[in-house]
Chain A
Amino acid sequence: MIEISGLAKKFKVENPKKLSEQDKKDPRLEGRFFHSVKNVSLRCDKGEVLALLGPNGAGKTTTLRLLSTALQADAGSMLINGIDVIKDPVSARKKIGFLSGTTGLYGRLTGRENIAYFGRLNGMSEQQIEERIAIIADKLDMHSFLDRRSENFSTGMKQKTSIARAVIHSPAVVVLDEPTTGLDIMAAKTVIDFINDLKSQSVPVIFSTHHLEEVTELCDRVTVIDYGETSFDGTLEAFKALSTQGLHASFMASLKQGVAV
């Protein structure tokens, strides 16, 4: 289970004069600090898939980076299966599998070596790694390219390898930052199938996306972040109910309402 409450993160603006006019008008800008995340709360239980929605720059990636411990929070709390992410980030990392559309692979390593490296970093034995790679490679149909250097992989191969790397240690929760952005249809389908598979194993998944059709296909819950704050947090049904004119209208309504359901 993932539980985030009152999460906040601000960044110092190195050169305020260089900010665009739009950025200068952003209510999150206070003096020399930009409050990227001001007050985000969400909850994702076992077996649930939660979609993190919001306009560009709303604070989705920062929220996921905070959850994955890449960044340190200024305020709030984050719990993963009862482990305090802020106080014990190393233990928390063992529980998380993280994937984003922009994370890369080590090009001079083979697919297998890329995956195994992260298995070792997670404290797995060589035997455990081999067994786990065999299972994941079967599931994602990776055997044909597993022992080739990843620098020449197609987008789909890269994405499958990234997925395998993210789940090599059988994480308790999976966090995905816009995992289908920039992918072709086949590669995107791999990600969707992967999320469905995790769901069937009762692994809680949080993923940010701009594709509303993915939300209806996969999600149980929706959290909308706007200007660094949670403007909606509830079930998919409640999200749909925000408007009778489709998901896009619901999304727009969630931005305006700023209420938790």
Chain B
Amino acid sequence: MWLVFKKEILELLRDRKTLFFMVALPIVVFPLLFGGAIYFTSQAMSEAQTKTLSYAIVGKQFAPDLVSEFKTVENLDLKELPVGTDTEEQLKAAVKNGSFDFIIAIPENYSANIENSGQIVFKIYLNDAELNSVQSRLSQIIDTFEMQYQREAFARLGMDETQQKTLLDPMIIEKVNVADEREKVGAMIGGMIPYILFLLCLQGAMLPAADIGAGEKERGTLETLLLSPISRTDIVMGKFLTIATAGGVSALVTVLSMAIWSVILSQGMAISFVSNFMASIGLLDVALVFLMLVPIVSMFAAILLSLSIYARSYKEAQGYMTPLVFVVIVPVIIAAVPGIELKGIWAWIPLTNVALAIKELIKGTMDYLQLFAIFGSSVIIAGALIAFCVYWFKQEKVLFR
């Protein structure tokens, strides 16, 4: 078995395609893609905040104080509307054709005395499909005026600070969160982690599985291997171990790479956040997460190898394997459904139980007694799938299709 395993690993390490997907992709390409996406998004956001926008005001005469304030804002270029642009349709057209980035219409009832004016509704004509942060820029000014007018109105009505507060927010909900930082962060990201880990294990195992099963059949080396004086159980176990190792290593490399790169890319404040969060999880829980992945990777490897052995060619094998991604996603989605917890029957459902356990471990709320059920069911199912894989590999109708 170890002879087959060593030879398969050697071949795997010499396969540029597999190495690319297993090592280069998680270490270099993923971080570059994510980093690039974050960089360009933040650039675009910052540009949207600072870009000079041309605008016009309809109804300037109703709010000279507000108009003066608008004029002081940087990166806002006030222009005059062309003569005859009065109707709503004309205003919309002026924005749509690019003459203005936005037009603000001040209503006739605008007044500093809001007790008498009634609700003041500003209309902004803008192309909201563009990233321009018009509303946030205008809100800063209008909110200031709004608060000032409110205060003045309350003063005129003779209300003190407390009455003002009560009138503005008669009832509020105050949360007293007993969850610590780890539980909060764990609840946020705990559902995503098993999803990522499971898919990484599966993806990392797929290419080697297709290569050392159907690929070997296609290249004509499998028959020669079958004629060597080692048992077919040893052959299939050697291949199974290779696929499981590839899946596990792929997940491990990606997780480590993402952890390291997130520290490097986030810098400053986030470093202490990441390191605090990682420190709060503890090595035992991290080790348990990866220990629970062992039967999961074994299940994937056994299923993938069975499919690969059955296929006549590499291409056919990939066709059989691709739908597995959806099969894996369903139990993880179930684990993310609110109300489903790691107890009772859920602790025995394969994949879902590990997904739930990973979430609980990250949150720090794990009931460690459930590990018996998790490992019990996972190991039994993984064992059954491996046994099937060995049986399958001994079938002539499968090997010589």
Which residues of chain A in 85-140 are interfacial with respect to chain B, using CB atoms and an 8 Å cutoff?
A: 90-91, 93-94, 96, 98, 100, 102-109, 113, 117-118, 120-123
B220–A90 touching, CB < 8 Å: no
Extra contacts, 7 of them, besides A100-B223, A108-B11, A123-B229 (Cβ < 8 A), are A11-B397, A65-B400, A90-B231, A94-B229, A96-B227, A120-B3, A121-B229
Please judge, given known A-B contacts A103-B221, A104-B221, whether A68 and B227 are in contact too, CB under 8 Å.
yes
Q: Separation in Å of the B399 CB from the closest CB of chain A? A: 8
The residue that A91 contacts in the complex, of B3, B226, B228, B229, with Cβ under 8 A, is B229
Tell me, in angstroms, the Cα distance from A72 to B399 when the chains sit together.
12
Which of chain A's residues have a CB closer than 8 A to the CB of B231? 90
Name the residue of chain B whose CB is nearest to the CB of A122: B229
Please judge, given known A-B contacts A12-B397, A103-B221, A104-B220, whether A70 and B229 are in contact too, CB under 8 Å.
no
Tell me, in angstroms, the Cα distance from A195 to B35 when the chains sit together.
62
Tell me, in angstroms, the Cα distance from A108 to B212 when the chains sit together.
12
A102–B11 touching, CB < 8 Å: no
Verify if A69 is at the interface (C-beta below 8 Å from B).
yes
Which residues of chain A in 15-50 are interfacial with respect to chain B, using CB atoms and an 8 Å cutoff?
A: none
Which of chain A's residues have a CB closer than 8 A to the CB of B227? 68-70, 93, 96, 98
B15–A117 touching, CB < 8 Å: no
B228–A93 touching, CB < 8 Å: yes
A103–B400 touching, CB < 8 Å: no
Name the residue of chain A whose CB is nearest to the CB of B399: A70
Verify if A71 is at the interface (C-beta below 8 Å from B).
yes
The residue that A121 contacts in the complex, of B14, B221, B230, B397, with Cβ under 8 A, is B230
Verify if B179 is at the interface (C-beta below 8 Å from A).
no
7 contacts between A and B (CB under 8 A): A104-B219, A104-B221, A106-B11, A108-B11, A109-B14, A121-B225, A165-B224
Which of chain B's residues have a CB closer than 8 A to the CB of A117? 3, 7
A-B interface contact total, Cβ < 8 Å: 71
Tell me, in angstroms, the Cα distance from A107 to B7 when the chains sit together.
12
B396–A122 touching, CB < 8 Å: no
A121–B3 touching, CB < 8 Å: yes
Which of chain A's residues have a CB closer than 8 A to the CB of B228? 93, 118, 121-122
Q: Separation in Å of the B248 CB from the closest CB of chain A? A: 21
Return the 3 tightest CB-CB contacts between A and B, nearest first.
A104-B220, A121-B228, A104-B219
Which of chain A's residues have a CB closer than 8 A to the CB of B221? 103-106
Tell me, in angstroms, the Cα distance from A70 to B221 when the chains sit together.
13
Verify if B178 is at the interface (C-beta below 8 Å from A).
no
Residues of A within 8 A of B (CB): 11-12, 14, 65, 68-72, 90-91, 93-94, 96, 98, 100, 102-109, 113, 117-118, 120-123, 149, 165
Please judge, given known A-B contacts A72-B396, A120-B3, A121-B3, whether A108 and B226 are in contact too, CB under 8 Å.
no
Tell me, in angstroms, the Cα distance from A65 to B226 when the chains sit together.
10
Q: Separation in Å of the B35 CB from the closest CB of chain A? A: 32
Which residues of chain B in 116-170 are interfacial with respect to chain A, using CB atoms and an 8 Å cutoff?
A: none
A98–B229 touching, CB < 8 Å: no
Name the residue of chain B whose CB is nearest to the CB of A107: B219
Q: Separation in Å of the A52 CB from the closest CB of chain B? A: 17
Which of chain A's residues have a CB closer than 8 A to the CB of B399? 70
Name the residue of chain B whose CB is nearest to the CB of A94: B229
B11–A118 touching, CB < 8 Å: no
Verify if B10 is at the interface (C-beta below 8 Å from A).
yes
Which of chain B's residues have a CB closer than 8 A to the CB of A69? 226-227
The residue that A109 contacts in the complex, of B3, B11, B220, B229, with Cβ under 8 A, is B11
Q: Separation in Å of the A62 CB from the closest CB of chain B? A: 10
Which of chain A's residues have a CB closer than 8 A to the CB of B220? 100, 102-104
Tell me, in angstroms, the Cα distance from A149 to B16 when the chains sit together.
14
Which of chain B's residues have a CB closer than 8 A to the CB of A121? 3-4, 225, 228-230
Which residues of chain B in 382-400 are interfacial with respect to chain A, using CB atoms and an 8 Å cutoff?
A: 396-397, 399-400
Name the residue of chain A whose CB is nearest to the CB of B224: A103
Tell me, in angstroms, the Cα distance from A106 to B13 when the chains sit together.
13
Tell me, in angstroms, the Cα distance from A89 to B227 when the chains sit together.
9
Chain A CB within 10 A, most for which of B15, B224, B230, B396:
B224
Tell me, in angstroms, the Cα distance from A122 to B225 when the chains sit together.
11
Name the residue of chain B whose CB is nearest to the CB of A96: B227
Chain A CB within 10 A, most for which of B219, B229, B230:
B229
Name the residue of chain B whose CB is nearest to the CB of A169: B229
Which of chain B's residues have a CB closer than 8 A to the CB of A106? 7, 11, 219, 221
Which of chain A's residues have a CB closer than 8 A to the CB of B7? 106, 109, 117
Which of chain B's residues have a CB closer than 8 A to the CB of A72? 396
Tell me, in angstroms, the Cα distance from A216 to B191 when the chains sit together.
73
Tell me, in angstroms, the Cα distance from A122 to B219 when the chains sit together.
21
Tell me, in angstroms, the Cα distance from A72 to B15 when the chains sit together.
34
Which residues of chain B in 182-238 are interfacial with respect to chain A, using CB atoms and an 8 Å cutoff?
A: 219-221, 223-231
A108–B15 touching, CB < 8 Å: yes
A109–B10 touching, CB < 8 Å: yes
Tell me, in angstroms, the Cα distance from A148 to B100 when the chains sit together.
69
Tell me, in angstroms, the Cα distance from A183 to B7 when the chains sit together.
28
Please judge, given known A-B contacts A91-B229, A93-B229, whether A118 and B224 are in contact too, CB under 8 Å.
yes
Which of chain A's residues have a CB closer than 8 A to the CB of B226? 69-70
| B1-27 near A? 1/0 per residue, CB < 8 Å | 001100100110011000000000000
Which of chain B's residues have a CB closer than 8 A to the CB of A104? 219-221, 224
Which of chain A's residues have a CB closer than 8 A to the CB of B225? 121
Q: Separation in Å of the A90 CB from the closest CB of chain B? A: 5
Which residues of chain B in 45-82 are interfacial with respect to chain A, using CB atoms and an 8 Å cutoff?
A: none
Name the residue of chain B whose CB is nearest to the CB of A175: B227
Tell me, in angstroms, the Cα distance from A72 to B400 when the chains sit together.
12
